[in-house]
Amino acid sequence: MNKEISDVKISNPLGYEKISKLLYQFSIPSIVGMTASALYNVVDRIFIGNHPSLGANGLAAITICFPAMIIMMSVGILFGQGGATLFSISLGKGDMKKADKILGNATTLMIAMSIIITLLGEIFLKDLLILFGATSEIIPFAEKYMRIIFLGTIFQVIGMGMNNFLRADGRPRLSMVAMFIGAGLNFILNPLFIFGFNWGMTGAALATVVSQLVSMIWSIYNFIKKDSTHRITFKNMKFDRKLSGEITLLGMPGFLLQLANSALNFVLNHLIISYGGSIAVSGMGIVNSLQTLLILPIIGINQGLQPIVSFNYGAKKFARVKKAAQLAIISATIIAIIGAIIINTIPNVLVSMFNRDPELMKFGTHALKTWMMCLPVVGFQIVGANFFQSIGMPKKAMLLTLSRQIIILIPSIIIFSKIWGMNGILHAAPFADFTAATVTSICFFSFIKKIDSINTPEI
């Protein structure tokens, strides 16, 4: 091992700091940041749902738009998570030159895909909304909102992508601040634009896009200023087919998970319209928002875990890899259990934040408790599946990540709805959660046994 590589491994706290301290330092900012980021869509729904001229139709419109917004988010995850994972592994090996080139190529990929999505979204907007299940009464609301959201694609994609790199670079607090600034600004601008200026759906979209722009500027500035350890330069942004392929492959599990979420929302919107109408669509929009808030802390722990596992796996410190995974799973499970307790204790309070229509409240509380019935096992499933992405095994990560939404949940929704109608749709989620967690446990613990056979006592 040459001296430069040795120095990188010794100097980076990911390789020697206490695992519990690292997981705390990386996960807490990520949890706060991810929760703040989730508030973009949730805040839009809260203010729109309580606007007298928007109400249930406005809520339904955002629910219909959500699959398209997930696709935009998935591109930031594809190149952000994929690039950051490869970036962390390279740092663990002490290869600084490759790490910088990964950062540059990931940036190029994010810019290119953002432009493509914006153009396609603006050209085929109405067709997309109809495809996603918008009815004639919902389309005017959805069109005003989504046309502006598409224009801000590049802000969301680069902002999300660079946040992954900030964490991988050992700066989780900066990542948290970037997302917190954006979410805080969105919370301020939403009531101003929707109620103060009376811009309605247009105001909600503008508040989101402006906030994402500010968040992106904060994130990317930390990789272009002169004193940055790793900088985005035109030289490193030159397209490298092999490296871009590695980035894309490693980011594919998270990307496909988001596409699966989009496909899930697509199927749900169409079936719920058939079985429950606009009220049911609005109700499931509320359930989706609350589920996002409850799941994102777990995703935050998972994101905090990624650089720790990737670096130590690259440095062949397998005892630290195992310890980090165990602590993350325990933490994620505790959060999931707390979430389940909250849902079953005050479901009416949670749903009423969005709208107090009696019919919507009745459906929303029932749907929330049923859909999230197996929430306690979700923490393990998310961390266990994404663990394989962190160690550079994207195929296994993809299989486990997609097992819930694509392989189990969507077919279950279709089959159960034909047998039990709306109740079948709602009960498909806990069935998928439990089954996916079982499959993940088999794969995860089998791999941990292999690590034990080559384990070192170093923690």
Calculate the CA 150 to chain-centre distance: 18
With a CB cutoff of 8 Å and minimum separation 6, the contacts of 356 are none
Per residue in 87-118, pLDDT (tens digit) is 988 888 888 899 999 999 999 999 999 999 99
**Per-residue pLDDT tens for 39-94?**
776 788 788 888 888 877 888 888 888 778 878 888 988 999 899 989 988 888 88
Q: What is the pLDDT of residue 34?
A: 65
Measured from the Cβ of residue 135, the count of other Cβ atoms closer than 10 Å reads 17
- Torsion angle (degrees, nearest 10) of CA 249, 255, 256, 261: 170
Mean pLDDT of 381-398: 87
**At residue 1, does pLDDT exceed 50?**
no
Which range is least confidently modeled, 338-347, 366-375, 444-453? 444-453
Q: How confident is the model at residue 389 (pLDDT cuts 50, 70, 90)?
A: confident
d(CA 399, CA 302): 17
Q: What is the Cα–Cα distance from 343 to 347, expressed in whole angstroms?
A: 5
Residue 315 scores a pLDDT above 90: no
pLDDT in tens, 194-236: 999 999 899 999 999 999 999 999 999 989 888 888 889 999 9
pLDDT given for residue 6 in this prediction: 46
DSSP 14: G
Which one, of 170, 148, 134, lies nearest residue 44 by Cα? 148
Instruction: Tell me the per-residue pLDDT of 124-147, one tens digit each, with 9 for 90 and over.
Output: 999 999 888 888 888 999 999 999
Query: How many residues are recorded in the chain?
Result: 459
Are the C-beta atoms of residues 113 and 149 closer than 8 Å to each other? no
Mean pLDDT across the chain: 87
- Quote the pTM value: 0.71
Cα separation, 32 vs 192, whole angstroms: 24
pLDDT digits (tens, 9 = 90+) for 239-271: 999 999 999 988 887 787 777 777 887 888 889
pLDDT higher for 351 or 228?
A: 351
